[in-house]
Every structure is written in C-alpha cells, then in structure tokens.
Amino acid sequence: MNRIIRVSFLVCAFALIGAGLNESNAKREEITFSNQVARIFQQSCQVCHHPGDIAPFSLMTYREARPWARSIKEKVILREMPPWQADPRYGDFINDSRLSQKDIDTIAAWVDQGAKEGDPRFLPPARDFAQEWRIGKPDQVLSMTEEYVIEPYDPDNYVYFTIPIDFKEDRWVQAAEIRPGNRRVVHHAIAHLLTPRARAASRSGKAADSGPPIFYHQGSLARVRADAPVIDDGAKAPGGGAAFKRRQGEEDEDGFSIMLTSFAPGKQPDVFLPGMAKKIPAGSVIVLQMHYSSFRGALNKTEKDRTSIGLIFAKEPPPKQVRTLTIPNHFFRIPPGADNHEVTASYTFEEDVELIDYMPHMHLRGKDMKYEAVYPDGRREILLLVPKYNFNWQTLYRLKKTILVPKGTRIIVTAHFDNSAKNKYNPNPQIAVRWGDPTSDEMMIGWLDYAVPEAHK
C-alpha cells in the first residue's frame, strides 16, 4: 500500500515536472508579432508592404498584418513571398531575398499559435520609408527643379527633366538611389548622364542621324512600327537584335551616354562592390526620364511629383569602372494568342570584362528570361534563369562574386512571351505586339552591369 502510494506519488511528481518543463518550453517558444515576427517583416517584407508601395497591403503594424496571417503563412511556405524569381541552380546573388528556413518556421509557428501580438514594448523601432534612403545617408541629393502635376485620367507619359550638376572633375558613384516623390504616379524613372561628348555629338546631329526608322512617336512615347522588319531570333542577326549600334565606352545608343541609375517597382538601388564605381564625367548633366501614369483613372485627385536621386561617392578613384549594357531585341513581333513566343538577343564583348549584375526587363506578357555566356572556347554557361518573370517587380540580380568574361564572349538572352488569354495580366490577346514604351506594348531587354579597369587619365 505504502509502496503503491509512493510509486504513484513519484509518477505524479514526474508528470508534474514533465508538465512544468513542457510549459516553460512552450513559453520560451511562444512566437509573437512584437517579439520575433515584426523583425522578419522589417527585414524582408516592409520594403514593398508599406502604405503607397507596390504590395496591396501594409505589414508595418500588428493591426495591418493580423488579417493576412493565414495567407502570409501560405505564401512564405510556398516561397512565393518575398518574391525572388531566380532559379537557385544558377548564380549566387548578394541580394537573394529568400527567407531562411528558420524565419519561415517562425512565421508558420506564429500563425499556428493564433498570430498573437505580444507585448508592444518589445517591438523594434519602426522603419520610416518616406525618409529612409536604402543606400544609407547620401553624400548628395539631386532633385527635379520643378514639380510635375498629373491629373486623373491623364494618359501615360514619358517626361524628361534636366537636372544640372556642376562637377568640375570626374566623380565616382559608389551607390545611387532614385526616390520617387509620389509613388501613386511614378511608374518608373531612369537617370541618364548627358556627357559633354554626347552633347557635342547631338549638336552636330550625329546622334539624331543614328536614330533608326523603325520607330515612330506617339506624344513622348516611342513605338516600333507595325510594318518594321520582324526578327524574333535576334541572337542570330548581325546587330544581335538591337536597332542601335552600341559603342564600347562612354556613349550608348541614344546619345544619353551612361545610365546612372533607375527606379522600377521592386527594384533595389544600385550599390557597387568596393573598388568599382560609376563615373560621372566632369561637365555632365543628368537627364531624368520619368514614366508617369495615372494608372488608368485610379487617381481621384490631382497629384504632384518631385523625384530625387541620392548619391554616395567613392572615397577615392576606384581601380574599376562600372558600365551598364543594354541587350535588347527591338524587332520582335508576338502574334495574337501565342502562349510561348521565343525572342532572343545577343551582344559580344570586345574587351575583357567582369560581370556584376543582371536585370531582365519585359512588360505584362513577359514569361521567362535566361542569360547565357558563350565563351571564346565554345563553353556555354547559364548565368541567370528567371523561370517566372513578374512585371510587378523588377529585380536586379547582384552577383556575390563578379564573373570574369574574356574578350569575344557572347551573351545570349532568351525570353518567352505569353500573349494568350491565359495570361491574366495580358491587356489584349487579340493583337500582335511589338516593342514600345507604353506598358501595353512589350519590351525585351537583358540589362547588365560590368566593370573594366580604369586608367584614370
């Protein structure tokens, strides 16, 4: 009797200790928004999920995030959020935004435990996206000299603003970021440098002469003529698919010379590795191309914009210069209803270069894009594969380690377009589609940045 009591007492004691242990474990593992989840959202989600940015709802506060809990769990487990489209088999990227398994487990456990708020005193300080520069504090901020006004139902418009800069000597840009003044109307922005050399060329009419006849203008928007020659397999054509002759060095096809930096939904700012920077030649001015959109009447009042560019300069002249290369196909034609139309483009390097980053660009019918290198010895390598392109965010894929590419290497870019009714983003599956600035036309560009040694003459 005595023994039985004692045994059962022991059992109870163990059970109690066990329960106690379980309880404290569960306490330690209680996941709350304030304690763990807010930090993950700050790090990986809020850059798009804050008011006025591209995501359809905000994840800045508990009250905003709570209604989305189930959907959040699903999207992170499926790895659909944060969006990262590169096939992980190719390339190793610094800005790979995929969540770690640990963060995914934390978010899933938070939702399973009832998506609790926890004690708001444990919240990290909130990020302020209206004030924050993602590159850090700029050495210089350049802004549009005047405000631009856009009315509801205004058509899409490309507007060019000249921003004077008065650099007496070459300056080297280590990091650059465009901050739209008004996210409701700024569709995208590209800052080009108009160098003294390019200015002289356009004054002498040279740049204008090189303009090809395949384009026409609708207001400020350039479009390829419906009857222009059709070349889908640009990689096999003499110009690689580009309507412009690209020169190595300072000036590019449209006489704008260097593309300094750009803004597009979801795109990261430009930050170059140490020892590499982009040159602003002395005497250049910035030409800012702004694509304004009232998003087909989504505005309910007049909006104003004044966009700024933040620059961080290299501490000393870098050993290597960064250049931006455009590898486009201007001649494609996507037939009505085609659901997997292939278009290619290519470019051959005339010097040894180091590849730094890639940025695929298409519009609403863009489906996938692949970058390949064909080396002079015949070896062919996939550099980047984006199997499910999404126009909602334009990702810049920044390599962890640059890739050395010898003179004579050919870059081949291959894209597929879905012009069928199956594509839910397709504005019109009934028509043939060619290159054009309007979002309802298409583009096919494999952008990349590369570095070359800089002599500092």
- Tokens at residue 26, please? 């569960």
Closest approach of Cβ 103 to ligand HEC, in Å?
Answer: 8
Shortest distance in whole angstroms from residue 261 CB to ligand HEC: 18
Vertex 417 angle, CA 154 and 184, to 5°: 25
- Cβ proximity to ligand HEC: between 9 and 57 the closer is 57
Q: Name the token pair of 327.
A: 């590898």
Smallest separation (angstroms) from ligand HEC to the CB of 91: 18
In the complex, minimum distance from the CB of residue 360 to ligand HEC, in angstroms, rounded to a whole number? 15
Q: Which has the closest alpha carbon to 190: 149, 167, 158?
A: 158
User: Which CB atom, from 232 or from 368, has the smaller least distance to ligand HEC?
Assistant: 368
Give 393 or 450: the residue with its C-beta nearer to ligand HEC: 393
**3-class secondary structure, 98:** coil
The least distance separating ligand HEC from the CB of residue 367, rounded to whole angstroms, comes to 15
Nearest residue (CB) to ligand HEC, 48 versus 271: 48
State the residue for tokens 């005595």.
2
Give 202 or 423: the residue with its C-beta nearer to ligand HEC.
Answer: 423
Q: Give the strand order in the sheet containing 157-164.
A: 157-164, 285-292, 186-194, 259-263
Phi then psi dihedrals of residue 328, to 5 deg: -105, 160
**Amino acid letter for position 87:** D
Q: Encode 241-280: b = buried (16+ Cβ within 10 Å), e = exposed.
A: bbbbebeeebbbbbbbbbbbbbbbbbbbbbbbbeebbbbb
Q: Are 193 and 316 spatial neighbours (Cβ–Cβ below 8 Å)?
A: no
Nearer Cβ to ligand HEC, position 55 or 190? 55
User: Which 3 state secondary structure label does DSSP give 362?
Assistant: strand
- Least Cα distance to 104 among 64, 74, 126 occurs for 74
Residue closer to ligand HEC by CB (options 22, 100) is 100
Instruction: Tell the smallest beta-carbon distance from residue 271 to ligand HEC (Å).
Output: 16
Report the nearest approach of ligand HEC to the CB of residue 267 (Å). Answer: 9
- By CB under 6 A, name the binding residues for ligand HEC: 44-45, 47-49, 54-56, 68, 71-72, 75-76, 81-83, 99, 266, 392-393
